[in-house]
Amino acid sequence: MLAARSTSSFKRRLPIHPIIARKLNTLRRSYLYVPSSSERMLEKSLTTNSDVIIYDLEDSVPPDPSDKTRARSKLKDFLSKERHPAPNHIAVRVNDVTTPFFHADICEIVSNPSVTTLVLPKIHSKEDLDYASDAVQSALLGCHRDKPLNIVPSIESARAMWNLGDIAKWKSKHEISALLFAAEDFCADTSIIRTHSRRELLNPRSQIVIAAKAFGLDAIDMVCVNYKDLETLKDECRDGRHLGFTGKQAIHPSQVETIQATFVPTHQEILRAAKILRSMALAHASEKGAVGLEGEMIDAPMLKQAQKIILLAEAAGLEIPSLLEPGFNPPPSGAGYL
């Protein structure tokens, strides 16, 4: 029987890096885009349980300047009402730095304390990030924010992929929290033809995950454009999680539940992780560095994986087996140990 119990005993016995703990205890699995041009959709966003909501001023708003201005005004009024049920997970995607709308977006949005994250589209280099950061700092003159803004660069081009390392390690007063992959824009830039297999996108997606993990960032996978096909969405979510992505973008509220249910450990993964933690704790108490478990040799790398699984499961409110649960008997003394 699984029991919903705290993992504090795991953490006391098996220390984990504080950055990893912070990241895994802050769930950011689903990133739902909401068009800021639609008052109806803005209001509807108050009912979603998406981990992150991205209020969009870019692609979902027509390019006419009057449409951009109206959308910006609607979003500003909406956010000023301070009634959002999840105020710590509000993001805004502004227009890109080359457009005439960028500075107006920044000036109207960043001073609102409810906005915690800026999604910056079409970031091709660290110079684009420098430019955006300067604009943010100028807009914040005379304003007070308790915390710096999180920055999420959207990787949309071959040039961005070429400069991925510089983008991921970029530093300023506002820190990057994630890398986001915009697959359709990337395909348009590179002439890649996206297929159901996703094979043609394996390389760029893997590069984004590696760059993100190298610098302690979240990695946000591409949109599933077939928003009515939940089986395709499930397949994409499983694939993304297996590649190492921590979350996925959503273009429709109906996608949120599937994304959030998939980007967490399965029951079997949690069960195995708990067994690994217990077995390794016993091994360490016996001055052993590895142990046999169900026919496999378990050592430090698998211990790290198990720690992450338990932390993520705890953050998601999933049931976690106690190390002291009656069904979790240790191996016989000396059996399977190195």
Residues 131, 219, single domain; the answer is yes
Annotated binding-site positions for substrate: 93, 156
Range of the domain at 322: 1-26+264-331
Residues 144, 214, single domain; the answer is yes
Structural domain includes residue 223: yes
Q: What is the largest CA-CA distance in the chain?
A: 75
Annotated binding-site positions for Mg(2+): 156, 185
Structural domain includes residue 203: yes
What is the model's pLDDT at position 182?
98
Residues 173, 94, single domain; the answer is yes
Collect the ranges in the chain with pLDDT lower than 70: 1-25, 82-88, 323-338
Residue 277 DSSP symbol: H
Structurally, the chain folds into a number of domains equal to: 2
Structure tokens that stand for 129 in this block: 């990030």
Structural domain includes residue 99: yes
Structural domain includes residue 78: yes
**Helical spans, DSSP H, in the chain:** 8-13, 18-24, 39-44, 65-79, 102-109, 126-139, 158-162, 164-168, 183-190, 202-214, 230-243, 256-262, 267-285, 300-315
C-beta of residue 111 within 8 angstroms of C-beta of residue 139 = yes
Closest to 334 measured CA to CA, from 286, 289, 275:
286
Domain boundary among the residues 227, 262, 297 is at 262
Residues 127, 276, single domain; the answer is no
Residues 258, 269, single domain; the answer is no
What is the model's pLDDT at position 79?
92
What is the model's pLDDT at position 258?
97
Residues 119, 228, single domain; the answer is yes
Q: Please list the helix, strand and coil fractions of the chain in percent, rounded to the nearest 5, in that order.
A: 45, 15, 40
CA angle 173, 124, 204 (to 5 degrees): 110
Q: Which residue has the tokens 């994986």?
A: 305
Annotated binding-site positions: 93, 156, 185
Residues 79, 219, single domain; the answer is yes
Domain boundary among the residues 243, 262, 281 is at 262
C-beta of residue 175 within 8 angstroms of C-beta of residue 150 = yes
Residues 134, 273, single domain; the answer is no
Residues 113, 136, single domain; the answer is yes
Q: Exposed e or buried b for every residue in 320-334, given b needs 16+ CB within 10 A?
A: bbbbeeeeeeeeeee
pLDDT, tens only, 101-145: 999 999 999 988 889 999 999 999 999 999 999 999 999 987 777
Q: Which residues pair with 179 in a beta bridge?
A: 219
Structural domain includes residue 302: yes
Residues 22, 67, single domain; the answer is no
Structural domain includes residue 338: no
pLDDT, tens only, 34-66: 999 999 999 999 999 999 999 999 999 999 999
Beta pairing, strands 291-293 & 296-298: antiparallel
Structural domain includes residue 146: yes
Residues 309, 207, single domain; the answer is no
Q: CATH code at 237?
A: 3.20.20.60
Domain boundary among the residues 228, 262, 296 is at 262
Structural domain includes residue 336: no
Residues 189, 219, single domain; the answer is yes
What is the model's pLDDT at position 265?
92
